[in-house]
Amino acid sequence: MAKTKDEQMDLLVKKFDKVYGEKPTKLKIRFFDESPLLVKNVRYNQSGIVCYCIEGQTVGKEKVKNLWKDKECLPSCEYASAKDGQKPSCIQEGTLKFLLPEISLDRVWLMKVRGITIINKLSNYIETQKVLGNSIKGDFYMYLTKEKQTRKSDGKTFTNYTIDILKLDDDNTDNKATGITSSQEQKTTIKNEKEPVKTESKKETKKSKKHEEKQKVVDISSKEDEKFEPLKEGEYDFDKCYAFYSLEPITIKNKDGKELQYSLGNFCDMKDNNVSAIIRDDLAKELEQCDLGTILTLDMIERLEKNWVTDFKFVQKCIKKVAA
């Protein structure tokens, strides 16, 4: 179901119902941002949100006498713990933002999702695309279907909404969708927010592209490889540092048995433990020039029983000496 907080935007909700119906099973959406999902821990009461903290941050906000004040977000918080078998007051909530091209191109729609399963699968899908070097921006089909499930802990049966997200160009193929689920008791709603997205005419786009091309040629001070510049002292976490010692090719088979070529970096952490991780082509090309003694910070996730580098920075870069 679609809702709006602005009465002036009711016409968009009516258009949504006309195009998709009150209970749609398929939506055409467009991600315009590389990070379309915002996840936060949030606590509600009868007046609405009273406390929240963005995922990955340690300081959130709490409403005290109608004033928002900083509050440290800790796993030991009394509201984050389950009491007497009941759910904790503080829950995880995700907000997925996108456009609906068939409805409008200048309004952002927000989908509220709750439940660890759906949030984790959305997050994993987005992170995996980043690891593979794919942009998340673009058109997708979102499929919505109901599915009955039985909870193993108590045998209780309830209805889930299953959400599959598939790239528009990949529709009607054998490619695997995300297979995301959300429980009915934590309803998924789509809201229209009054947040304009700038659009450009074809003439303006052509002019901007030409301008960008000129900028790339003329502005020699611009650095495309700023991420390869070594970090300064105090800008990195020592525990996330790794010493590079070798690079080798690796072949991985996907679901369909197709062989894909990647680069495997071999590192040693600060406790002398050997760590291997699959890395992107841009880092691989940079590491080919590096010698022993090169130190990096690596952010990694585990997928398909292998480590994948999602981000990196050089702490100390040692270039190989090449004979003249």
Q: Does the pLDDT value for residue 184 go beyond 50?
A: no
Listed by start position, the domains of the chain span 2-193, 227-316
Confidence (pLDDT) at 140: 92
Cα angle 108-110-115, degrees, rounded to a multiple of 5: 160
Confidence (pLDDT) at 250: 87
pLDDT digits (tens, 9 = 90+) for 30-67: 999 999 999 999 998 888 899 999 987 889 999 988 89
- Coil/strand/helix, residue 321: coil
CB of 141 closer than 8 Å to CB of 166: yes
Tracing tokens 């947040």 back to the chain, one arrives at 195
**Mean of per-residue pLDDT scores for the chain:** 76
- From residue 73, give the alpha-carbon distance in Å to each of 42, 43, 86, 277: 11, 12, 21, 31
- Diameter of the chain measured on Cα atoms: 74
User: Which uninterrupted H or E stretch holds 139?
Assistant: strand 138-150
Residue type, 156: K
State how far the Cα of 232 lies from the Cα of 238, in Å rounded to an integer.
12
The better pLDDT of the pair 30, 292 is held by 30
State how far the Cα of 138 lies from the Cα of 124, in Å rounded to an integer.
18
Would you tell me how many other CB atoms lie within 10 Å of the CB of residue 76?
6
The better pLDDT of the pair 118, 20 is held by 20
Q: Among 170, 121, 166, which Cα is nearest to 140's? A: 166
Q: What is the dihedral of CA 188, 191, 195, 201, to 10 degrees?
A: 90
Phi, psi at 302, each rounded to 5°:
-105, 125
Confidence (pLDDT) at 240: 76
CB of 58 closer than 8 Å to CB of 72: yes
In sequence order, which ranges of 75-201 are alpha helices (DSSP H)? Answer: 116-131
What percent of the chain is predicted at pLDDT more than 70?
A: 74
pLDDT digits (tens, 9 = 90+) for 114-155: 877 778 888 888 888 887 778 899 999 988 877 776 766 567
Q: Does the pLDDT value for residue 192 go beyond 60?
A: yes
Topology (CATH) of 227-316: OB fold (Dihydrolipoamide Acetyltransferase, E2P) (2.40.50)
Q: How far apart are the first and last CA of the chain?
A: 68
CB of 28 closer than 8 Å to CB of 141: yes
Read off the pTM: 0.55
Cα angle 237-242-244, degrees, rounded to a multiple of 5: 150
Residue 241 tokens read as 């540092």
Count of alpha carbons within 13 angstroms of residue 3, beta-carbon side: 7
Q: Report DSSP letters for 103-121, one per residue.
A: TEEEEEEEEEEESHHHHHH
The better pLDDT of the pair 224, 314 is held by 314
Q: What counts of helices (H) and strands (E) characterise the chain?
A: 4, 17
